[in-house]
Each structure stands twice: as C-alpha cells, then as structure tokens.
Amino acid sequence: MAAARAYARVLRGAGARAEALAVLETRAGKAKGETDITGGITRVGDEMVRTVLYEAANVLLSRVTRFSALKRWGLEVAKRRGLKRAKVAVARKLAVILHRMWVDGTTFRWTPPKAARA
C-alpha cells in the first residue's frame, strides 16, 4: 500500500498525464501481501554486454580462488536468495564498478585501501 500512497502524492501535484503513468505502472506489477513487486530486470541494452557480465559473475563466484569483497558479498547473496540471483546481482555490481573505473580511470582493488582497513 506504500506505493498507492506515493502515487496519490504524485497525482495531487500533477495532471492527468501523471495519473495515466501511475495507472500504467501499477498494472505492470503484482501485489503480494504488503510488498509491491514492480517487475524484474529488463532485457534492454546490448545482449552481448549482459552475457559477458553474467559470465564474469559466474566465474567470480565459482572459479576464482582469490577472495575479494565482491565475491564475499556475492556468496552472501547466494546463501539468502540462490546462486542464479546472486550471479545477476554480482553482474550488476560489476557493471557499476566497471563504469566507475572507466569514468575515473582507476584500477580494480581486490582489497579495500589500507586506510579503510584500520
């Protein structure tokens, strides 16, 4: 029901177009108990990039022996939600990390910086 309250707030401040958008969005999801499920990850974007990110996440979680904070986080997600969802979550996190590395020009650190460890 939290989503309904949020839509009501949007509708109070906007016109008919916002109302139409809110209706379309609510129809796309499912309501289950008190949580609103609005849908999963879409298949928008380059298919090859999604495939490579998923494969990299699979390798990181299953084959790489060197431990990292990313692998630890992925294994924790796998315990809670299952390995398939963990691979998708790690793939998304890898995409964010790679984008930041590309923008900043930094390199990947397997461990946190020394100042953060203390």
Please provide the size of the chain in residues: 118
Q: What is the pLDDT of residues 63-118, one digit of tens each?
A: 988 888 999 999 999 999 999 999 999 999 999 999 999 999 988 877 777 765 55
Token pair listed for 45: 């974007």
pLDDT for 26:
41
Q: How many CB atoms are located within 10 Å of the residue 62 CB? A: 12
The one-character DSSP state at 33 is T
* pTM, to two decimals: 0.61
